[in-house]
Amino acid sequence: MPKDPNIFDQNPVSKFNAGKIGRTFGLIVLGVVIASMIFRCFYSVDEQSNAVVTQFGRVVRVDTAGFYFKAPWQNVNQVDMTTHGTSIGYIIDGDSQKGSYDVDADDAIMITSDFNLLDIDFYIEYRVSDPIAYVYNAEDPEGVLRNIALANIRTMVSNYTVDEAMTTGKGQLQGDIKEAILSSLSNHEIGLTVVNITIQDSNPPTDTISAAFKAVETAKQGADTAMNQAYQYQNQQIPSAEANADAIIQKANAYKEARIAEAEGQVARFNDMYEEYKKFPTITKKRIFFEKMEEILPDLKVIITDGDTQTMLPLESFMGSDESTDAGSADSYATSTTGEE
């Protein structure tokens, strides 16, 4: 009797082994899928980022740095919270090794309040302030920030003269632009904030005007230098002048005290003399007269007479040479007297 060629396929043992292998393979695939899903439920957030966790399009929470678990049906959006920068008026070369940039004339040329054109460049530093608003409130938050910044920059520059925007008003202009941008960002709520804005460069659009403004800037620097030198000279001279003034005041006070003491001494002398005068008026008057004449005319020879003497004899021949040289003495020459003494 001939054998059936499919007799082995009808063997129940072979069918059992084939089914067992299929179930094992299926279990392995299922385990791999489950392990992959469980592995994807764990995620980490570094210190420079925040994670926005959503469930069916709704924000569940915002995670900071750490290691977290989420449900398989939840999504995680990582948001970089560090400070970034963008330029307005020039384009930074992507190759950091070159350190070069290209001029963006469309954004750099602006008009000032005195209707002059100014080529001015800015660098804006910004960061994410609200990760939820950053993810969901705008499709391109950086683009919105750039448009807001450019609009406010043009508005603020138009409030300044070209001279102020290039020289003295740079600091105030930067502050006004930053304040205006922050106000606009708070109204748009795109989750970004400006950290700092800096004027990189500002020049007139033509070489002739640029040279003129450089000359003005040089003159202002010269004026500042001269003013600083003047203040330095002032600070050097004021202490010397104050010292001289103090010396003059001290000398004047000393002279005043000396004059007062001298006047008080003269007053005391006069009072003493007046007391003597009251006792002997005639004698005191004559003594005062003779003393004053001797003081005024020290070399005058005084002759005392009663007015009736006709002849006066010189006394030098009867007196020694030493005695005759006593200038200003009332006894140098004498005639007959009347006894009025």
3-class DSSP state of 103: strand
- DSSP per-residue codes, 274-296: HHHHHH-HHHHHHHHHHHHHHHH
φ/ψ of residue 117, rounded to 5: -90, 140
CA 113 to CA 317: how far, in whole Å?
A: 112
Q: Bridge partners of 87?
A: 123
E strands within the chain?
42-45, 49-55, 58-63, 66-69, 74-80, 84-88, 90-92, 101-103, 109-111, 117-128, 192-203, 303-304, 333-334
Would you give the DSSP letter of residue 27? H
Tens of pLDDT, residue by residue, the chain (341 residues): 444 555 445 555 555 566 667 677 666 766 666 666 666 678 888 888 999 988 887 888 888 888 888 887 888 888 999 999 998 888 876 554 445 667 777 788 888 888 888 888 999 999 999 999 999 888 899 999 999 999 999 999 999 988 888 888 889 999 999 999 999 999 999 999 999 999 988 887 766 666 776 777 788 888 989 999 999 988 888 888 888 899 999 999 999 999 999 999 888 888 888 887 788 788 878 888 878 788 887 776 666 666 666 666 555 555 554 544 444 444 443 333 333 43
CA 55 to CA 57: how far, in whole Å?
A: 5
3-class DSSP state of 314: coil
- Cα–Cα distances (Å) from 208 to 170, 213, 229, in that order, read 22, 9, 32
DSSP H or E run through 172: helix 170-188
CA 131 to CA 135: how far, in whole Å?
A: 6
3-class DSSP state of 138: coil
Entry pTM: 0.51
